[in-house]
């Protein structure tokens, strides 16, 4: 237990929040609060995994990316494309057996060391084991934990809704006990599944947002991706996904989102 004056003395608001690498979202007061659960929601193929990966790499904080949705090779190529600015095809060519990779590949790998990955985790118990192991190795928990994605960790018979609610409850507890921001990736549903229209709170699959402090939805209208804060305890939000968005351009070859003011 602690009094609130100790919380204030311990650190400023800025140190409590992991800022996103996008000016537009910063202006809306959208960041990732430590000790809280957040969500990124989109239809399949919009680019939520690339979005979360860029956050983890750009934030430069200790991060653990738990991926049950994307394999290690794909994430390696995406990470190197982002960190070097080279197209993914170039990265793949550089990693062919017998090819001497250029120096910037080694530099890019070094610059990605703030993010550790887990590709063989499929239950929330295993997520907790990964986080505990991280704490033992590093002497502290990560500041950011990305869980990609909720559907892959929901195992509770045929009751999909209760299974996903249970995952969110356990991830919320993980955020509170570790002090990390836990960022859960999740799907949009119904008419928003195609990813071409703004996703409101009601468009989140199974509506499992009640424990999340921040919820950001993504949708695509080429050549742009639009990010909409539909829930935001730290600043502005539009639950109906109306009249509020941040426009980004996504370079799929280099796995990079760019601000478009």
Say yes or no to pLDDT of 4 above 70. no
96-112 tens-digit pLDDT: 999 998 999 999 999 99
Mean of the per-residue pLDDT values of the chain: 92
234-244 tens-digit pLDDT: 899 999 999 89
**pLDDT confidence of residue 13:** 44
Average pLDDT over residues 214-236: 95
Say yes or no to pLDDT of 61 above 50. yes
pTM of the complete model? 0.93
d(C-alpha 22, C-alpha 12), whole Å: 21
Confidence of residue 260 (pLDDT cuts 50, 70, 90): confident
157-195 tens-digit pLDDT: 669 999 999 999 999 999 999 999 999 999 999 899 999
What fold is seen in the domain 15-259?
A: Rossmann fold (3.40.50)
Q: Give domain limits for the chain.
A: 15-259
Which structure tokens are listed for 180? 């990390």
Q: What does the chain come to in residues?
A: 261
Which structure tokens are listed for 124? 């929330």
Residue with tokens 């062919």: 96
Write the burial class of residue 95 (CB in 10 Å: 0-12 exposed, 13-18 middle, 19+ buried). middle
**pLDDT confidence of residue 14:** 45
Q: Vertex 190, ends 196 and 242: CA angle to 5°?
A: 55
* Greater model confidence, 48 or 10: 48
């Amino acid at each position: 237990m602690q009094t609130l004056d100790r919380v204030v003395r311990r650190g400023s608001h800025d140190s409590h929040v992991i800022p996103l690498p996008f000016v537009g979202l910063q202006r809306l007061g959208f960041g990732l609060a430590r000790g809280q659960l957040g969500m990124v929601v989109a239809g399949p193929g919009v680019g939520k995994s690339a979005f979360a990966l860029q956050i983890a790499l750009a934030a430069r904080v200790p991060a653990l990316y738990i991926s049950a949705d994307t394999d290690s090779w794909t994430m390696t190529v995406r990470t190197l494309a982002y960190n070097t600015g080279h197209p993914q095809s170039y990265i793949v060519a550089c990693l062919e057996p017998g090819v001497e990779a250029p120096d910037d590949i080694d530099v890019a790998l070094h610059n990605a060391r703030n993010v550790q990955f887990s590709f063989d985790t499929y239950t929330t118990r295993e997520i907790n084991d990964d986080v505990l192991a991280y704490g033992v190795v590093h002497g502290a928990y990560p500041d950011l934990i990305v869980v990609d994605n909720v559907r892959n960790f929901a195992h509770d018979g045929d009751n999909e809704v209760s299974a996903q609610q249970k995952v969110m409850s356990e991830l919320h507890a993980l955020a509170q006990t570790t002090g990390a921001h836990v960022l859960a990736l999740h799907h949009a549903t119904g008419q928003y599944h195609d990813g071409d229209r703004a996703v409101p709170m009601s468009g989140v699959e199974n509506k499992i947002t009640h424990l999340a402090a921040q919820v950001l939805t993504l949708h695509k209208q080429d050549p742009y991706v639009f990010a909409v804060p539909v829930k935001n305890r730290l600043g502005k939000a539009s639950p109906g996904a109306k009249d509020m968005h941040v426009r980004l351009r996504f370079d799929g070859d280099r796995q990079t989102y760019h601000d478009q003011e």
